[in-house]
Chain A
Amino acid sequence: MNFDMAQDRKGLNVSAPTAVMKKLALASICAAALLQASASFAQQAIEIRLTYSKGQFQPSQVSAPADKPISFRIKNLDAKAMEFESASLRVEKVVAAGTEGVVNVRALKPGRYEFYDDFNDKARGALTVQ
């Protein structure tokens, strides 16, 4: 690569290796910020563990404090996939048979938030935020 040509074309007083270094540094800062945000969410979040067995959530009624992010951890013990979904929580996630899925939810205001398995109309539950 002709570094001088690259300088001439762009009219910048920065060599190509320096530009690459700057991009890498920027990417690292972004990645670090994302990791930190993720770690911060995990630290602050209230974890709610649910199991899905025989087409039902256990427990089906859960509660959490207001204004705290929530992390649902759903373990699907059934032999077929389920989809954890909620219109009021505005989330959906397919959890394959025999696996665990994590659904992160924003900090919520007090109220009742229903959730269900989108593949099974009878599987219902609700989160009460107080």
Chain B
Amino acid sequence: MPTCRQDASDDIEQGLAASGKERQVANSRGRCVLALCAVATVLSAGAARAEDASSWREIETKYIFGFTLGSGIGLEGEKEVTVDSIGRFGKREGSYAATETKYEFEFTPSQFIQIEFGALGSTHDIHGVNGLDDQSQIALGGAFAEFRYLALERTSTNPLAVTLAVEPTIRRIDETSGDRVLNYEFETTVNADLELLRNRLYAGFNLLYEPEFTKPAFGDSFHEATAGGSAALSLRIVSNVVLGGEVWYLRHYDAANLTSFTGDAILLGPTLYIQFTPKSFMSAAWNAQVWGREIGNPVSLNLSEFQRNRVKLKFAYEF
């Protein structure tokens, strides 16, 4: 994920001029997202009281927290095909829309391991964004595999479950700029969740470390990394619908070993999970950047390494 960092002096001038307005927009956005989460929580709490959760089946927690992943690894013998899209929208100026879709196959060969792999498709619609070339393209962008190991399992006496996951990815289209590159990413995560109320209320926590190596078509290759963590809360309002909210704190570095810090951001938003049938479900999430900073650029959000909004939509079918 290359940055679209500008020449420092230009950025500072633009940043100072836009800073007040950006801060107002960011504050307003933060209040809006918080209000939405609060309304969703109140509504869902009311609906949740109406049903008795003790008769519900246990739920697979992996996809109930939005961008935050739960500890679930599926059931031994289970196979699943999914389409998982992430859209990123909004930079400081111009128009910016980029999506990356995983066409994936998941299977669980044992009661402790899950394996996923698939292809990546990407779209980019970028116009007038400083530091990025205008793009309007659809491409098959790369491939990935994911290995998940359930390190600590939940039981009726232990509400905490923890899964360790690694996801090597190769891309030929840069996910931020849409430029032709050779990019290797090695996402490492800890996915933990806690059942706070039996069959009803869950908390999710992720830790993320994502080093990358990118070789552009022209110019020097470079390393970078994203690190961070998230917390999420999800309430099962009826047996097949889960509503919640999540917050992410992300830091970006221009080095894989986390030595060259360039900026950070906080993203916040609601999440939704719907089980259509015992074998099919969807998951959706929206995160808005409510706070951010760019080192050396006094503006209110970090739109250099991150974006104003990101949206996730996933459909899955098990067999």
Find the A residue at minimum CB distance from B77: A92
B157, closest chain A residue (CB): A111
Which of B53-61, B206-214, B266-274 sits within the interface? B53-61
Contacts of A113 in B (CB 8 A): 156
B155 engages A88 (CB within 8 Å): yes
Residues in B neighbouring A106, C-beta threshold 8 A: 111-112
Contact A90 B156 (CB under 8 A): no
**Residues of B with C-beta under 8 A to A108:** 155
A87 with B57: CB separation less than 8 A: yes
B279 CB contacts on chain A under 8 angstroms: 118
Q: B60's closest neighbor in chain A, by CB? A: A87
Tell me the minimal C-beta distance from B200 to chain A in angstroms: 15
Asked if B52 is at the interface (CB within 8 A of a chain A CB), the reply is no
Residues in A whose Cβ lies below 8 Å from that of B112: 106
Asked whether B233 is an interface residue with its Cβ less than 8 Å from the other chain, the reply is no
Interchain CB contact (< 8 A) of B111 among A85, A105, A111, A118: A105
Closest approach, in angstroms, between the C-beta of A84 and any C-beta of chain B? 10
A26 on the B face (CB < 8 A)? no
Q: Which residues of B contact A105 (CB under 8 A)?
A: 111
Residue-wise interface mask of B (267-301) relative to A, using a CB-CB cutoff of 8 A (1 in contact, 0 not) = 00000000000110000000000000000000000
Question: Which of under 10, 10 to 19, 20 to 34, or 35 or more describes the interface residues of A?
Answer: 20 to 34
Q: Is the CB of B57 within 8 A of A91?
A: no
Q: Is the interface of A mostly helix, strand, loop or mixed?
A: strand
Contacting residues, chain A, for B57 (C-beta < 8 A): 87, 114, 116, 121
- Find the residue from A90, A106, A113, A118 having the highest chain B CB count within 10 A: A90
Q: How far is the CA of A49 from the CA of B57 in the complex (A)?
A: 22
A119→B58 CA distance, assembly (Å):
15
B156→A91 contact, CB < 8 A: no
How far, in Å, is A70 (CB) from chain B's closest CB?
Answer: 11
Closest to A85 in B: B75
A111 and B198 CA atoms in complex are apart in Å by 14
- Would you list which residues of chain B between 186 and 232 have a CB under 8 Å from chain A? none
Closest residue of B by beta carbon distance from A90: B111
- B58's partner among A110, A114, A118 (CB-CB below 8 A) is A114
Contacting residues, chain A, for B66 (C-beta < 8 A): none
Mask of A83-125 contacts with B, CB within 8 angstroms, 1/0: 0011111111100000000000110111111101011010000
Q: Interface range on chain B: under 10, 10 to 19, 20 to 34, or 35 or more?
A: 20 to 34
CB of B73 within 8 Å of the partner chain: yes
Nearest-Cβ distance from residue B79 to partner chain A, whole angstroms: 10
Q: Which of A92, A110, A114, A121 contacts B75 (CB 8 A)?
A: A92
Tell me how far the C-beta of A1 lies from the nearest C-beta in chain B, rounded to whole angstroms.
36
What's the nearest-Cβ distance from chain A to residue B157, in Å?
A: 5
Select one of A85, A112, A118, A121 contacting B156, CB under 8 A.
A112
Q: Give CA–CA (A113, B279) in the complex, Å.
A: 21
Contacts of B73 in A (CB 8 A): 90
In the complex, which residue of chain B has the Cβ closest to the Cβ of A105? B111
Q: Cβ of A91 and Cβ of B155 under 8 Å apart?
A: no
B19 contacts partner chain A, Cβ-Cβ < 8 Å: no
Interface check B85, CB cutoff 8 A? no
A114 to B57, CA, bound (A): 8
Closest to A92 in B: B75
> Which chain A residue lies CB-closest to B74?
A90
- 20 additional A-B pairs beyond A85-B75, A111-B158, A113-B156, beta carbons within 8 Å, are A87-B58, A87-B75, A88-B58, A88-B154, A89-B111, A90-B75, A90-B76, A90-B108, A90-B111, A91-B75, A91-B76, A105-B111, A106-B112, A109-B155, A111-B155, A111-B156, A114-B58, A116-B57, A118-B278, A118-B279
Closest 9 CB pairs of A and B: A111-B156, A87-B58, A111-B155, A92-B75, A112-B156, A90-B111, A91-B76, A109-B155, A118-B278
Between A and B, 23 residue pairs with Cβ closer than 8 Å are: A86-B75, A87-B57, A87-B59, A87-B60, A87-B75, A88-B58, A88-B156, A90-B73, A90-B75, A90-B76, A91-B75, A91-B111, A93-B77, A109-B155, A109-B157, A109-B158, A110-B157, A111-B156, A112-B156, A113-B156, A114-B57, A118-B278, A121-B57
Q: Tell me the A residues contacting B by CB distance below 8 Å.
A: 85-93, 105-106, 108-114, 116, 118-119, 121
